Structure 1
Amino acid sequence: QICPIFAAEIRKNRAGQMRAYSNWQWHLDEVFVKINGETHYLWRAVDHEGEVLESFVTKRRDRKAALKFLRKKMKRHGHAHIFVTDKLRSYGAAMKEIGNADRQETGRWLNNRAENSHQPFRRRERAMLRFRRMRTLQKFAAVQGSVHNHFNAERHLYSRSNFKLNRAAALAEWRGLCAA
């Protein structure tokens, strides 16, 4: 009972700190996913640190889908200073309708952070032998994003020994909180 409350408090505090950060950027991207031979689109929003903020599954990749995704995300996370996207015209049309057209940035390699966030998802998708239903994909993407955020401890900055020590300390603290 105490663990979910603890996790929610961490997320709330971290989101509050990140909103105060001056480089508050969102990287938006979509990826094709086949469900029973039919193409669906997984829209994904990643912040400037690489944390997955939101995942959303649609059957279409048009202005209406982009608008629904942006509104859902802005309702949950507030407004961003900069929206980094690829050159998909649906983003531009949705941004214009919301009134954020001046905050959108597109460029050849600017959106690599969002593109790279698809890699862990693709690995798990392959291991699971694809998806059968759209609802299953939505649930999986939401859970996988939050789990990846929790365990993605910027491994490139740590040596193996420090990573093991930090992981053991975090696990011990987590077990202590859940046991109480």
Structure 2
Amino acid sequence: MAERGVKVDHATLNRWVVKFAPLIAARAHARKRPTATSWRMDETYIKVKGKWTYLYRAVDRDGQALDSLLSERRDLSAARRVFKRAIGTNGVPDRIVIDKSGANLAGLQAVNVILKFTGNGRTIEVRQVKYLNNILEQDCCGLRALEESNGDFEVS
């Protein structure tokens, strides 16, 4: 705005963000592609700003990113949180493929209990097959490229 000679106070910009962010989010949600009914979920251990954290990622079978979450711990609450967020924005999938992580399995079982008691009538099929998760396992190469370009980001 300063390039065009318009002086705007920072409080005005903040009001614009509060006013227009929900409108932009609603339009983006309306244009969102439908997701496949089979999802993949994985976590990887990465270093962000010198601190090791877990990056949880959920994608559909076509590789479309559904949700991601940075967590300090690899536990039930982190897994449940990423599943609930992904389901909240994309709907309930038919099946989710995960690795052999006990936290992910417990998180999905907790979500299935919630779905059963809310009257949804359907639960998520859980598959623990390593080769089906190759979409996410191969995606680590993109994270490695980001690591090389930025010193504050490392992947184990």
- What TM-score range do you get, normalising by the shorter chain? 0.5 to 0.7
Structure 1 residue 34 corresponds to structure 2 residue 40? no
Classify 1:120/1:31 alpha carbon distance in 2 versus 1 (closer, same or farther; 3 Å): same
Structure 1 residue 119 corresponds to structure 2 residue 141? yes
Unaligned residue ranges in structure 2 (runs of 5+): 1-23, 114-122
Say which structure is richer in strand.
Answer: 2
Normalised by the size of structure 2, how large is the TM-score? 0.68
The one-letter code sitting in structure 2 at the alignment partner of 1:113 is: I
2:109 to 59, 78, 96: 96
Deviation at 1:108, TM superposition (A): 2.9
Q: Following superposition of structure 1 onto structure 2, how do residues 10-159 of structure 1 map, counting pairs within 5 Å?
A: 11-12=31-32, 14-15=33-34, 18=35, 24-99=37-112, 103-131=125-153
Unaligned residue ranges in structure 1 (runs of 5+): 133-180
* Distance in 1 (alpha carbons) for counterparts of 2:40 and 2:54: 16
Deviation at 1:110, TM superposition (A): 1.6
Contact 1:26 1:48 in 2 (8 A): yes
Of stretches 93-102 and 122-131 in structure 1, the one that deviates more from structure 2 is 93-102
State which structure, 1 or 2, has the greater radius of gyration over its C-alpha atoms: 2
Deviation at 1:131, TM superposition (A): 3.5
* Distance in 1 (alpha carbons) for counterparts of 2:85 and 2:67: 9
Say which structure is richer in helix.
Answer: 1
**What secondary structure is seen at the aligned counterpart in 1 of 2:79?**
helix
The percent of aligned pairs where both chains have the same amino acid is: 29
Aligned pairs, number: 122
Deviation at 1:125, TM superposition (A): 2.4
